[in-house]
A and B are shown apart, each in its own frame.
Chain A
């Protein structure tokens, strides 16, 4: 059963279309991330679900109930804000108990629920402090506690980790995953950080320009991005996208770009001759062997691997190698692209993916040396 449903939801601010034709079914107990660059409409979508913004048209349901006109406090949701939004004049305990107080929970019951939540989040020693006396991580916990305390149907989280330092963020990410598993509640999580979305979600809704681009599990978003935007947005280091053109006919397509000419395999029925682009993930690129000459531009050593940027003419491509390979920038190297792995997209920034579904082979990292690409003269 769908727990949260958006049907044809639109949100306009004057002439600006913040969210367009949004259709989204979120299942009960699911962890869904709304992912996209700033201004893509993800926060507006969350605020509409919270009742802090009203859709211009369309319908939003929580459970069986249409909530378009329901006040935020009556939707059985809880929200964690990016700024935490702790009430500065109340103590930690008063902050966490505030939603209970507003719902008329009895005093003794309130104290018990507060204690449970504080114990769970290890906030008990801090209950009498004011928010400004806490560290960023502790404030984050209090915000989480205020959401958890009354066990709502849906949790909304608006970039809750973006104000924490990298180490704490990793830690809180793990805690949130654990919390979701323990509570089994529906969570809707807004983020611009694809790593957060990939690691935490059951499904990711990738948004851009107010439109939903793809709604699928993380692995599918990674392996079968629905269009060029999603392909470029997901993955670190990012996919190299090369503009060029398709030629040939079904079963015998080729992709050509200045300095590169490869056989285009596994294209679906939408493929057509003309302008197109090819996306190559770092793991599809083999550096050091192959028959395409390239110039090494940059080596970033992360410790467990090297991120290597090579160029063919004006085209720059990113790949990874094991850390034992030692190269210096400017060096000439041979490279190859695994012909089973590239993605092909129709022309335009949101060009549709042209590969056949499902992919004949997953985009597992591969260092196969067979079927090497060819280079046009």
Chain B
């Protein structure tokens, strides 16, 4: 009994520690400027205001950055999921020499610190004439999201019984047909996990965006907001918090929609033994 209470207390303490900064972000974003630095601080704002949000949307480049981030993350996710799905299928289903070595090498690239890769990648992208574009970031993010995505999907793929595909082939499907009718629906939880991982990674990435993109047209939210609101002399706390809240919204929406898929469909009883 005491153990249970202690465990619950611990769990709630942990939740609080994680949730408080988020709460503070939300609260700060709706406080008027003069209330921000008051001592003692007010927990709930005395006056509620949305002036920071309006200011951000109307008077800054925020929407432009936001749009860039959406395009960037969505494109990266689509590319990574498409390549990783087909790659994982190949690594699991086809037997060829060096298959395991290949899988291991792919993982090895993920182990390299990204800082090591940033300069060679920058130089290559400059030579390709892609510097300062969203495309350059899509390529960069794909290079480091793909290895992990491939491994994630490979383990999901390995969990799909080969008999299912054989059955579809005997039933008259082509290999592609069997892939679409039988493999993809079974792989859905894996695809969603991978998509979430990639989307979050591209949405939050900062370092590559800072180095590879230096123009407002192509800047994503992370570097855009920093550039706009944080300078050596001043930090626009209210605007920063409002921007942070709006940056979190897409992720919250995506999670709310997809989290049920993440656990659904595991170990569905189509195959016995």
Query: Which residues of A approach B to under 8 Å, CB–CB?
Result: 47, 50-52, 71-74, 77-79, 81-89, 98-99, 102-103, 130-133, 136, 139, 146, 156, 162-163
A residues near B170, Cβ cutoff 8 Å: 50-52, 72-73, 77-79, 156
Q: Which of B183-225 contact A (CB under 8 A)?
A: 185-186
Residue of A nearest to B271 (CB): A83
Supplied contacts A79-B167, A156-B170, 19 more A-B pairs, CB within 8 Å: A50-B170, A51-B169, A52-B169, A71-B174, A73-B171, A73-B174, A79-B166, A81-B166, A81-B167, A83-B272, A85-B163, A85-B167, A86-B270, A87-B168, A88-B186, A89-B265, A102-B177, A133-B269, A146-B167
Question: Given the known A-B contacts A88-B270, A139-B272, are A83 and B163 also in contact in the complex, defined by CB atoms under 8 Å?
Answer: yes
Contact of B21 with A by CB under 8 A: no
Instruction: Please state if A85 and B164 are interface contacts (CB–CB under 8 Å).
Output: yes
A330 to chain B, nearest CB (A): 42
Question: Given the known A-B contacts A50-B170, A87-B182, A146-B171, are A132 and B270 also in contact in the complex, defined by CB atoms under 8 Å?
Answer: yes
Question: Given the known A-B contacts A87-B164, A88-B186, are A132 and B269 also in contact in the complex, defined by CB atoms under 8 Å?
Answer: yes
A98 to chain B, nearest CB (A): 5
Instruction: Please state if A89 and B174 are interface contacts (CB–CB under 8 Å).
Output: no
Instruction: Please state if A85 and B271 are interface contacts (CB–CB under 8 Å).
Output: yes
Instruction: Please state if B186 and A89 are interface contacts (CB–CB under 8 Å).
Output: yes
B residues near A162, Cβ cutoff 8 Å: 273
B residues near A130, Cβ cutoff 8 Å: 268
Instruction: Please state if B269 and A88 are interface contacts (CB–CB under 8 Å).
Output: yes
Binary flags per residue of B152-171, CB closer than 8 Å to A gives 1, else 0: 00000000010110111111
Contact of B113 with A by CB under 8 A: no
A69 to chain B, nearest CB (A): 14
Instruction: Please state if A84 and B177 are interface contacts (CB–CB under 8 Å).
Output: no
A residues near B273, Cβ cutoff 8 Å: 82-83, 162-163
Identify the interface centre among A74, A78, A86, A156: most chain B CB within 10 Å of its CB: A86
Instruction: Please state if B268 and A73 are interface contacts (CB–CB under 8 Å).
Output: no
Residue in contact with A84 in the complex, picked from B168, B185, B272, CB distance below 8 Å: B272
A residues near B271, Cβ cutoff 8 Å: 83-86, 88
B residues near A51, Cβ cutoff 8 Å: 169-170
Interchain Cβ contacts under 8 Å between A and B, 11 examples: A47-B166, A50-B170, A72-B169, A72-B170, A73-B172, A83-B161, A99-B172, A102-B168, A130-B268, A132-B270, A139-B272
Binary flags per residue of B239-273, CB closer than 8 Å to A gives 1, else 0: 00000000000000000000000000100111111
Contact of B173 with A by CB under 8 A: yes
A residues near B174, Cβ cutoff 8 Å: 71, 73
Instruction: Please state if A131 and B167 are interface contacts (CB–CB under 8 Å).
Output: no
Binary flags per residue of B10-28, CB closer than 8 Å to A gives 1, else 0: 0000000000000000000
Instruction: Please state if A71 and B169 are interface contacts (CB–CB under 8 Å).
Output: yes
Instruction: Please state if A132 and B177 are interface contacts (CB–CB under 8 Å).
Output: no
- Complex Cα gap A131–B161 (Å): 15
B residues near A99, Cβ cutoff 8 Å: 171-172
Residue in contact with B268 in the complex, picked from A85, A88, A139, A156, CB distance below 8 Å: A88
The 3 closest A-B pairs by CB, nearest first: A132-B269, A88-B270, A102-B172
B137 to chain A, nearest CB (A): 36
A residues near B269, Cβ cutoff 8 Å: 88, 131-133
Residue of B nearest to A152 (CB): B170
Question: Given the known A-B contacts A73-B174, A102-B177, are A85 and B169 also in contact in the complex, defined by CB atoms under 8 Å?
Answer: no
B residues near A84, Cβ cutoff 8 Å: 270-272
Instruction: Please state if B169 and A73 are interface contacts (CB–CB under 8 Å).
Output: yes
Instruction: Please state if B272 and A136 are interface contacts (CB–CB under 8 Å).
Output: yes
A residues near B164, Cβ cutoff 8 Å: 85, 87-88
Residue of A nearest to B171 (CB): A99
- Complex Cα gap A73–B169 (Å): 6
A293 to chain B, nearest CB (A): 48
- Complex Cα gap A349–B170 (Å): 37
- Complex Cα gap A85–B174 (Å): 17
B260 to chain A, nearest CB (A): 15
- Complex Cα gap A89–B269 (Å): 9
B residues near A132, Cβ cutoff 8 Å: 268-270
- Complex Cα gap A88–B265 (Å): 9
A262 to chain B, nearest CB (A): 46
Residue of B nearest to A156 (CB): B170
- Complex Cα gap A138–B168 (Å): 20
B residues near A73, Cβ cutoff 8 Å: 169-174
- Complex Cα gap A163–B268 (Å): 17
- Complex Cα gap A92–B271 (Å): 13
Instruction: Please state if B173 and A85 are interface contacts (CB–CB under 8 Å).
Output: no
B157 to chain A, nearest CB (A): 15
- Complex Cα gap A136–B163 (Å): 17
A residues near B171, Cβ cutoff 8 Å: 73, 78, 98-99, 102, 146
Residue of B nearest to A133 (CB): B269
- Complex Cα gap A52–B273 (Å): 21
B residues near A74, Cβ cutoff 8 Å: 172
Binary flags per residue of B27-64, CB closer than 8 Å to A gives 1, else 0: 00000000000000000000000000000000000000
A residues near B166, Cβ cutoff 8 Å: 47, 50, 52, 72, 79, 81, 85
- Complex Cα gap A71–B174 (Å): 8
- Complex Cα gap A102–B171 (Å): 7
Instruction: Please state if B270 and A81 are interface contacts (CB–CB under 8 Å).
Output: no
A residues near B182, Cβ cutoff 8 Å: 87
- Complex Cα gap A162–B272 (Å): 11
- Complex Cα gap A334–B271 (Å): 53
- Complex Cα gap A73–B177 (Å): 11
Binary flags per residue of B80-114, CB closer than 8 Å to A gives 1, else 0: 00000000000000000000000000000000000
Instruction: Please state if B185 and A89 are interface contacts (CB–CB under 8 Å).
Output: yes
Residue of A nearest to B166 (CB): A52
A107 to chain B, nearest CB (A): 16
B residues near A136, Cβ cutoff 8 Å: 272
B271 to chain A, nearest CB (A): 4
